[in-house]
Amino acid sequence: MMRIILIIAGCMLFPVLTSAQPEVPVEQWSEKTILLIGAHPDDDAYSMGTMAMLQAHGNEVYIAILTTGNVGTQDPGLSMVDLARIRKQEEQAALAALGIPGDHYINLGYDDGMLEYENKKEVVAKLVRLIRQLKPDVIFSFDPGKGEQRWHKADHRASSYLAADAARAAMWPLLFQGQITMEGLEAHTVEEYMLFDSAEEDKNTWVDISGFEDKKITAMSKYVSQWSSGWYDYRGPELPNEEAKEVRERVSRRIEYREGNPVEGFRYVKGLPDNIGR
Ligand SMILES: [Zn+2]
């Protein structure tokens, strides 16, 4: 009897699980506006193959990063101003490698490591304005449904909630109403979310990035201050040949494969933004 109940329960659950997929596979998306929101100028690395592919397939791809990344170093010779400048250059080089136009990179200029202590209403207002200006069809973000309250890198946790909160607020015309009455913007509802850095068991969508691995590896290799000896001793954007090769190899090992194909995994959610944390 219990077995029958379990089978019936399983059948009821199965359509829910399988429906959590994009109706049109991501590999076939075109003419969409895509907005990725992250905390640091390398958080797009979770999705770079997908971003390069979407850009190549005729979508408008925008990358919005909340902090300048001005703390991420162990090199005692770098100041926060130095690092903000270096990481801006690295992110621009990475996006150029992906084919994303330079003016599609937005940085809100907050200090690295301090997002949770910023004025939340102010940050959300800026993101709401961006969402209302760009009118994205899909938002890519850190997954607010991951177990952040147990432990998660603080800025990533903050970024996930700020993005979700901004998406929710953007759809209500009486929230941040001045943007509508004074700036000529309109309320905008985003119904599709691709959440990255999700818990493995929550991922439901694997984007096949075949043909875009090389762009991803090249883009990731631009983060010399983060993923090379530059982390301890930054000597400029170009690495000696041998280390450059070693970094490329190390970065390429981070690409995940499923059934022989390179993929990026996401938790896809469709629906009103109030639901994306589930
Ligand atoms: Zn980060």
- pLDDT score, position 110: 98
Cβ-contact 48, 98 below 8 angstroms: yes
Interval between CA 67 and ligand 1 midpoint (Å): 9
Q: Is residue 18 part of a domain?
A: no
Distance of CA 153 to the CA centre of its chain: 14
Q: Is residue 13 part of a domain?
A: no
Torsion on CA atoms 52, 54, 55, 56, rounded to nearest 10? 80
Interval between CA 116 and ligand 1 midpoint (Å): 14
Interval between CA 16 and ligand 1 midpoint (Å): 31
Residue 5 confidence (pLDDT) above 60? no
Average pLDDT estimate for 248-270: 96
User: Up-side HSE of residue 61: CA atoms within 13 Å toward CB?
Assistant: 24
Interval between CA 175 and ligand 1 midpoint (Å): 29
Residue 176: closest CA among 129, 138, 131, 233? 129
- pLDDT score, position 105: 98
Q: Is residue 222 part of a domain?
A: yes
User: Up-side HSE of residue 118: CA atoms within 13 Å toward CB?
Assistant: 23
pLDDT tens for residues 203-241? 999 999 999 999 999 999 999 999 999 999 999 999 999
Out of 8-12, 41-45, 63-67, 105-109, which region has the weakest mean confidence (pLDDT)?
A: 8-12
- pLDDT score, position 151: 59
Under 8 Å CB-to-CB from 51, ≥6 apart: which residues?
34, 36, 44, 61, 63, 98, 100, 140
Q: Is residue 21 part of a domain?
A: no
- pLDDT score, position 159: 95
pLDDT above 90: percentage of residues in the chain: 85
Interval between CA 277 and ligand 1 midpoint (Å): 19
Q: Is residue 11 part of a domain?
A: no
Interval between CA 62 and ligand 1 midpoint (Å): 17
Interval between CA 223 and ligand 1 midpoint (Å): 12
Q: Is residue 101 part of a domain?
A: yes
Average pLDDT estimate for 44-54: 98
Return the number of other C-beta atoms located less than 10 Å from residue 260's C-beta: 6
Interval between CA 2 and ligand 1 midpoint (Å): 46
Cβ-contact 158, 67 below 8 angstroms: no
Interval between CA 174 and ligand 1 midpoint (Å): 32
Give the end-to-end CA distance of the chain in Å, rounded to a whole number: 31
Interval between CA 158 and ligand 1 midpoint (Å): 11
pLDDT tens for residues 114-148? 999 999 999 999 999 999 999 999 999 999 887 66
Interval between CA 5 and ligand 1 midpoint (Å): 44
Q: What is the DSSP letter of 172?
A: -
- pLDDT score, position 154: 87
Interval between CA 197 and ligand 1 midpoint (Å): 10
Structural domain total, the chain: 1
- pLDDT score, position 21: 87
- pLDDT score, position 241: 95
- pLDDT score, position 148: 60
pLDDT tens for residues 79-115? 999 999 999 999 999 999 999 999 999 999 999 999 9
Residue 11 confidence (pLDDT) above 80? no
Cβ-contact 94, 166 below 8 angstroms: no
Residue 80 identity (one-letter amino acid): M
Residue 16 confidence (pLDDT) above 60? no
Residue 12 confidence (pLDDT) above 70? no
Q: Is residue 252 part of a domain?
A: yes
Interval between CA 161 and ligand 1 midpoint (Å): 14
Under 8 Å CB-to-CB from 192, ≥6 apart: which residues?
22, 137, 138, 139, 268, 269, 270
pLDDT tens for residues 150-188? 556 789 999 999 999 999 999 999 999 999 999 999 999
Under 8 Å CB-to-CB from 187, ≥6 apart: which residues?
132, 170, 171, 172, 173, 180
Q: How far is the C-alpha of 228 from the C-alpha of 247, rounded, in Å?
A: 7
- Residue owning tokens 């589930």: 278
Q: How far is the C-alpha of 117 from the C-alpha of 248, rounded, in Å?
A: 36
User: Up-side HSE of residue 236: CA atoms within 13 Å toward CB?
Assistant: 3
215: containing domain: 26-275
Interval between CA 38 and ligand 1 midpoint (Å): 7
Instruction: Give the CATH number for residue 219.
Output: 3.40.50.10320
Q: How far is the C-alpha of 217 from the C-alpha of 230, rounded, in Å?
A: 18
pLDDT tens for residues 22-40? 999 999 999 999 999 999 9
- Report every protein residue that has its C-beta within 5 angstroms of ion ligand 1: 39-40, 43
Q: Is residue 3 part of a domain?
A: no
pTM of the model: 0.91
Residue 42 confidence (pLDDT) above 60? yes
Interval between CA 23 and ligand 1 midpoint (Å): 30
Cβ-contact 115, 239 below 8 angstroms: no
